[in-house]
Amino acid sequence: MCGRYTLISKPDALSTLLRIDVGAMLPPRYNIAPTQSVPVLRNIDGQLRLDHLTWGFIPSWAKSPAIGPRLINARSETAATKPAFRAAMRERRCLIPASGFYEWKREGLKKQPFYIRRRDGRPFVFAGLWTVWTGENGEQIESSTILTTLPNEMIRQIHDRMPVILDERGWDTWLHPVEQDLKHVVALLAPTPTDNLDIYPVSPRVNSVVNDDASCIEPVSLAPAEPHEDRDHEQPSLF
């Protein structure tokens, strides 16, 4: 899955990547979390637009926005058929810019966070979907979700899913509002190659959404695993 990510690249790098002038729209964010407003690149009437949408997909048929936090991710293998996402897969695909993302590995009773980014340091985009929800009082909320896929060999060591990092060669197909041949679309949703990414452990500070600064992505050293003694010399357990 993808439950936290960063967007800390400089505006000129993002403008080059997204093919649109982002200006000062995107201040550095080191700990983007579900339910927050996130920048999303969409094709609206043939024009690329960078808009801010809620992260957490709220289907048009939902009774309330409360469902959003449960739909921050959509499985790429089933999004085309799931009631919550199938309409968006046909008509409302988007790109979500990022500089890196976090994933957690369970170690005993604890979860150790890791930060994953491109090896060359460049920003990238997640494949995403968006939709519009309208409440009974006419209130409208535009929301988004990040598609996930099977992990590459690197990510597999810590988690069984990873976000879809969409190759630039597939952007036009993904964003094209008329492209509804889902075989072409789904074929784009493959794991990014291991050689493209770096991964390293970071502080548990990222666990709290109130922490949103550069310390979230600073590498930390993991304590070495305690050596196992020969069983003949083990002391009886007290627990």
pLDDT digits (tens, 9 = 90+) for 1-51: 799 999 999 999 999 999 999 877 688 999 999 999 999 999 999 899 999
How many CB atoms within 10 Å of residue 57?
Answer: 27
Type of residue found at 20: I
Q: Identify the bridge partners of residue 55 per DSSP, sorted by sequence position.
A: 144
Longest dimension (CA), the chain: 73
The number of residues making up the chain comes to 239
Using alpha carbons, select from 59, 49, 102, 106 the residue that is nearest to residue 83. Answer: 59
How much of the chain, in percent, has pLDDT values that exceed 90?
82
Domain ranges in the chain? 5-218
Does 73 score more than 80 pLDDT? yes
Assign 234 a pLDDT band (cuts: 50, 70, 90).
very low
Q: What is the mean pLDDT of the chain?
A: 91
Type of residue found at 135: G
Of 77, 91, 94, 103, the catalytic one is: 103
Does 232 score more than 50 pLDDT? no
- Report the C-alpha gap between 29 and 137 in whole angstroms: 33
HSE-up (13 A, CA, CB side) for residue 219? 6
Q: Which residues contact 155 (CB under 8 A, 6 or more apart)?
A: 103, 116, 162, 191, 197, 199
Does 201 score more than 50 pLDDT? yes
Segment 86-100 shows an average pLDDT of 96
Structural fold of domain 5-218 = hypothetical protein yedk fold (3.90.1680)
Given 3-state DSSP classes, what are the helix, strand and coil percentages for the chain, each rounded to the nearest 5? 20, 35, 45
Cβ contact 154:194 at 8 Å: yes
More confident call, 178 vs 32 = 32
More confident call, 72 vs 181 = 72
Active site includes 216? no
pTM flag (> 0.75): yes
Cβ contact 127:93 at 8 Å: yes
Q: Identify the bridge partners of residue 129 per DSSP, sorted by sequence position.
A: 93, 145
pLDDT tens readout for residues 119-172? 999 999 999 999 999 999 999 999 999 999 999 999 999 999 999 999 999 999
Active site includes 94? no
- Report the C-alpha gap between 206 and 65 in whole angstroms: 25
Q: C-alpha distances in angstroms, 226 versus 112, 222, 233? A: 17, 12, 15
